[in-house]
């Protein structure tokens, strides 16, 4: 027995030298039980009276899966027979209470947290716009199909990965250490998104503060930030009668001017800005001419951003129900307004011809992929706090469907109000509809300003935006903190608050670059590059590694151990994970590259160097996958690929 390790615990006759440890189902919050095989002899090599963590040689022990902070030797039974052999029944490994991994106290907490993470600002300001642009109600067909072949399988995949491993995005890759870089890439993507996502929330906080007034500040052109192009009067009657209103408020008709004068008037009117537009760009952002003029800090945004990070730091658990209550209230109010049905008809009227366009399917796939927020590490992190036998199959269905229904429902709220504003302005709905920040901070505030008790409705709308964003931001921060504390368990417990404080402080400092006069351009660059292409490449890598290297059959066996049954139908999940998802994600990635448009904001085109920096930002996370793999090959000992042990 001289050739065997002194601490010879084996699975399926595989020795410790092969480092083939697999954790069996956890027994409680801080206990994991390992069942070793029978050995020829162990009393000669293992003395339980003198075994302690000071003398235990961890060089030969796989510390990735066996925590040796404390080893309970009372549970190690070494019954010796007359042939000097023993049966090693079990080794129970206990982590100190401070280092123990927490769990969700109830399954509903996990579901609400996952729903809060998946449902974010994109559900409000992107999906409704995509729906009307891509055929209205007809868009729901490719959207639903993409949910079934891409969204739901990817969400279920990541929930299973996190729940079975009970580890964060980096340490969960013990199943295949060569590709631990996937976890580091997820960590970096979450860090980038967390830095700029809270800046958007700081705008919402400032708008909530600005709503505490009798008259909303974006209803008038008589402000310090207003320009000569500001227009606050209604041109409804003039527009309906075929005229154009000039800068002095006079309605001009084509028969009153020459063709040249009419064209000149058209050009001059195109420069007009609404008070809500000028409030956002000239006051809130005080936006500069471009990245070449980054300008000084905006005090209001700096303070609002600090408040946003304080909220994130102090929050422990946040429910996902509040935004839905506000959405319902806003929907009821919108349904009473003139023009509501015009907006809804514009939102849902199907254009069946668009179903056959590749671009529509591409938009559906991209929206599904990013609305569920996979490949950032958040889903893996949330699932890692589940009980081992939690029904994550059910949870994946509930969360993915809940996310899609929220997107669909929010369209009624958004286009109901947009229809009202189009009615007030005498414009077609497509001239008023917008997406992104332009919808949330320009179009919608302008519409709300026309309602009675407008400050109340404004406050409710931006409170909804804030709570939706905070749900996502909390999980992003949890992902970052979990990744760090899983790698360094000593940072849990009493040290956790300091890790949290340092992480929030670091991300706040990065976010300050987006609280300047040119900060909007920095934010647009990060939003365009930091997560789009990199998340798709990470998704392709993680699916390929688990289904082809670890083995899709092994993965399904792991799921059966957790759930007690194979996900139904088993053949569907086997082939959708092994072939369908890699193909779909690769197709989305290729489509995104083909459809690539350099970053821009409004009429401002980003310079070439800014797009180069953006691509460097995008690949800074993905390149960690090969970098970590090369490091593992050159510097670390042991198996590069740990296959699942039956």
User: Hey, what are 501's tokens?
Assistant: 């404080």
Neighbours of 164 (CB within 10 A): 23
Tell whether residue 618 is among the known ligand binding residues. Answer: no
Query: How many percent of the chain have pLDDT more than 70?
Result: 76
| Helix, strand or coil, per DSSP, at residue 91 | strand
Q: Compute and round to an integer the Cα radius of gyration of the chain.
A: 29
The answer to whether the CB of 620 falls within 8 A of the CB of 188 is yes
Identify which of 198-207, 213-222, 226-235, 320-329 has the greatest average pLDDT: 198-207
Task: Kindly tell me the burial class for residue 608, based on how many C-beta atoms sit within 10 Å of its own C-beta (0-12, 13-18, 19 or more).
Answer: exposed
- Whether 42 shows a pLDDT value over 80: the answer reads no
Query: Where along the chain do its domains lie?
Result: 1-100, 107-215+281-635
b vs e for 111-121, b when ≥16 Cβ sit within 10 Å of the residue's Cβ?
bbbbbbbbbbb
Please, are residues 599 and 529 in contact by the beta-carbon 8 Å criterion? Answer: yes
pLDDT digits (tens, 9 = 90+) for 414-435: 889 889 988 887 778 877 777 6
pLDDT of residue 446: 87
**H helix intervals, 134-235:** 140-146, 152-165, 181-210
The pLDDT tens digits of the residues spanning 470-505 come to: 989 999 999 999 999 888 888 887 888 899 999 999
266-278: average pLDDT: 69
16 marked ligand binding residue: no
Distance in angstroms (rounded) separating the CA atoms of residues 418 and 432 = 7
72 is in an annotated binding site: no
pTM for this entry: 0.77
Give the pLDDT score at 493. 78
Residue 560: predicted pLDDT: 94
HSE value, Cβ hemisphere, 13 Å, CA-based, for 536: 21
Say which DSSP state 516 is in: B
Given this model, what pLDDT does residue 164 score?
93
Q: What is the dihedral of CA 128, 538, 315, 166, to 10 degrees?
A: 130
How far is it, in rounded angstroms, from Cα 118 to Cα 471?
8
Contact call for residues 128 and 367 (beta carbons, < 8 A): no
Structure tokens at 520: 């909007």
Is residue 468 annotated as involved in ligand binding?
A: yes
Q: Give the pLDDT score at 181.
A: 94
Q: Which two tokens stand for residue 190?
A: 């979450």
316-329 residue pLDDT tens: 444 467 788 889 99
pLDDT score at 10: 32
Mean pLDDT calculated for residue range 610-631? 94
Residue 501: how many other CB atoms lie within 10 Å: 11
How confident is the model over 88-117, as a mean pLDDT? 69
What pLDDT was estimated at residue 225?
Answer: 87
Q: What burial class does residue 3 get, using C-beta atoms within 10 Å of its C-beta: 0-12 exposed, 13-18 middle, 19+ buried?
A: exposed
Residue 102 has pLDDT above 90, yes or no: no
Burial 527-538 (b: 16+ CB within 10 A, else e): bbbbbbbbbbbb
Do 417 and 330 form a contact (C-beta atoms < 8 A)?
Answer: yes
245 HSE (CA, 13 A, CB side): 20
pLDDT in tens, 555-594: 999 999 999 999 988 999 999 999 998 898 888 888 888 8
Q: Give yes or no for a cis peptide into 642 (omega within 30° of 0).
A: no
Given a contact cutoff of 8 angstroms between Cβ atoms, the answer to whether 507 and 577 are in contact is no
H/E segment holding residue 244: strand 244-245
Give me the phi and psi of 342, to 5 degrees please: -65, -45
- Among 186-200, 282-296, 355-369, 581-595, the range with the most confident prediction by mean pLDDT is 186-200
d(C-alpha 505, C-alpha 309), whole Å: 8
What top-level class would CATH report for the domain 107-215+281-635?
A: mainly alpha
Q: Please tell me the least confidently modeled range out of 13-27, 268-282, 477-491.
A: 13-27
For the ranges 35-49, 277-291, 364-378, 557-571, which has the lowest average pLDDT? 35-49
pLDDT at 275: 84
Average pLDDT over residues 199-219: 93
Please answer whether residues 588 and 539 qualify as being in contact, where contact means their C-beta atoms are separated by less than 8 angstroms.
no
Beta bridge partners of 94: 31, 70
List the alpha helices (DSSP H) in 512-607: 519-529, 532-544, 552-563, 570-575, 581-594
Instruction: Look at residue 224 in the predicted model and tell me its pLDDT.
Output: 87
Quick check: 525 and 614 in contact, CB under 8 A?
yes
- Integer Cα distance of 586 and 544 in angstroms: 11
CA separation for the pair 4, 83 (Å, rounded): 18
Give the separation between CA 467 and CA 143, rounded to whole angstroms.
26
Residue 477 annotated as part of some ligand binding site = no
Say whether 266 counts as a known binding-site residue. no
List the single range of 160-174, 189-203, 299-313, 629-643 with lowest mean pLDDT.
629-643
**Range with lowest mean pLDDT among 146-160, 528-542, 627-641:** 627-641
What pLDDT digit, counting tens, does each position of 230-270 carry?
876 555 445 544 555 555 555 665 656 666 665 665 555 55
Number of other CB atoms surrounding residue 145 within 10 Å: 14
Sort strands 78-80 and 86-88 into parallel, antiparallel or unpaired.
Answer: antiparallel
- Distance spanning both ends of the chain, measured CA to CA: 26
d(CA 331, CA 414) in angstroms, rounded, equals 8
Q: To 5 degrees, how large is the angle CA 343–CA 440–CA 507?
A: 155
The residues pairing with 28 across neighbouring beta strands, listed in sequence order, are 31
The whole-angstrom separation of Cα 48 and Cα 76 is: 8
Joined together, the tokens standing for residue 247 give 């800068």
Q: Which two tokens stand for residue 8?
A: 């010879």
Over residues 326-381, the pLDDT tens digits come to: 899 999 999 999 999 989 988 888 888 888 888 888 888 888 888 898 999 999 99
Q: What is the mean pLDDT of the chain?
A: 79
Backbone angles phi, psi at 31, to 5 degrees: -130, 135
User: What was the pLDDT predicted at 255?
Assistant: 58
Residue pLDDT, tens place only, 168-179: 899 999 888 899
**Beta strands per DSSP E along 35-176:** 70-72, 78-80, 86-88, 91-94
């Amino acid at each position: 027995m001289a050739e065997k390790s002194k601490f010879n615990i084996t699975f399926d006759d595989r020795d410790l030298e092969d480092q083939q440890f697999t954790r069996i189902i956890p027994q409680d919050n801080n206990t994991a039980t390992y069942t070793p095989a029978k050995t020829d002899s162990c009393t000669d090599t293992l003395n339980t009276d003198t075994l302690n963590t000071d003398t235990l040689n961890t060089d030969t022990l796989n510390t990735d899966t066996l925590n040796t902070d404390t080893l309970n030797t009372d549970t190690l039974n070494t019954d010796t027979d007359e042939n000097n052999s023993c049966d090693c029944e079990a080794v129970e490994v206990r982590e100190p209470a401070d280092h123990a991994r927490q769990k969700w106290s109830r399954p509903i907490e996990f579901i609400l947290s996952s729903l809060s993470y998946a449902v974010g600002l994109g559900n409000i300001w992107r999906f409704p716009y995509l729906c009307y642009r891509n055929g209205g109600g007809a868009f729901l067909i490719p959207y639903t199909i993409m949910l079934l072949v891409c969204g739901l399988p990817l969400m279920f995949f990541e929930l299973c990965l996190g729940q079975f491993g009970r580890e964060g995005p980096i340490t969960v890759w013990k199943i295949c250490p060569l590709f631990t870089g996937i976890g580091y890439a997820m960590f970096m993507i979450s860090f980038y998104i967390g830095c700029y996502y809270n800046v958007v929330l700081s705008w919402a906080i400032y708008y909530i503060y600005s709503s505490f007034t009798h008259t909303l500040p974006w209803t008038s052109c008589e402000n310090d930030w207003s320009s000569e192009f500001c227009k606050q009067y209604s041109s409804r009657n003039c527009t309906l009668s075929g005229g154009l209103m000039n800068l002095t408020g006079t309605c001009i008709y084509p028969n009153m001017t020459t063709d040249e004068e009419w064209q000149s008037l058209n050009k001059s009117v195109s420069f007009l800005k609404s008070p809500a537009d000028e409030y956002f760009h000239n006051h809130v952002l005080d936006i500069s001419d471009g990245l070449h003029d980054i300008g000084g800090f905006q005090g209001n945004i700096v303070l609002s951003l600090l408040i946003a990070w304080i909220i994130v730091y102090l929050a422990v658990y946040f429910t996902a129900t509040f935004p839905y209550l506000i959405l319902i209230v806003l929907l009821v109010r919108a349904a009473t307004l003139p023009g509501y049905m015009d907006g809804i008809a514009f939102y849902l009227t199907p254009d069946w011809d668009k179903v056959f366009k590749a671009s529509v399917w591409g938009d559906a796939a991209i929206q599904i992929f990013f609305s569920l927020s996979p490949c950032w590490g958040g889903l893996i992190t949330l699932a890692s706090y589940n009980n081992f036998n939690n029904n994550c199959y059910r949870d994946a269905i509930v969360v993915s469907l809940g996310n899609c229904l929220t997107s669909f429902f929010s369209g009624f709220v958004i286009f109901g109000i947009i229809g009202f504003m189009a009615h007030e302005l005498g414009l077609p709905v497509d001239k008023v509809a917008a997406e992104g920040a332009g919808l949330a901070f320009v179009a919608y505030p302008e519409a709300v300003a026309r309602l009675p008790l407008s400050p109340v409705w404004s406050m409710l709308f931006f409170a909804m935006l804030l709570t939706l964003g905070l749900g996502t931001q909390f999980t992003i921060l949890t992902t970052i903190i979990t990744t760090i504390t899983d790698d360094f368990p000593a940072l849990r417990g009493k040290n956790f608050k300091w890790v949290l404080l340092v992480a929030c402080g670091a991300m706040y400092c990065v976010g300050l670059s987006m609280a300047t006069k040119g900060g909007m351009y920095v934010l647009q660059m990060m939003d365009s590059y930091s997560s789009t292409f990199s998340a798709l490449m990470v998704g392709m890598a993680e699916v390929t590694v688990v289904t082809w290297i670890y083995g899709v059959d092994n993965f399904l066996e792991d799921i059966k151990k957790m759930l007690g049954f194979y996900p139904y139908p088993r053949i569907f999940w086997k082939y959708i994970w092994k072939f369908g998802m890699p193909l779909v994600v690769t197709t989305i990635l290729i489509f995104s590259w083909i459809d690539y448009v350099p970053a821009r904001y409004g009429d401002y085109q980003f310079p070439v160097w800014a797009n180069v920096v953006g691509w460097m930002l995008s690949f800074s996370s993905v390149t960690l996958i090969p970098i970590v793999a090369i490091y593992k090959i050159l510097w670390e000992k042991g198996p590069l690929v740990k296959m699942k042990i039956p």
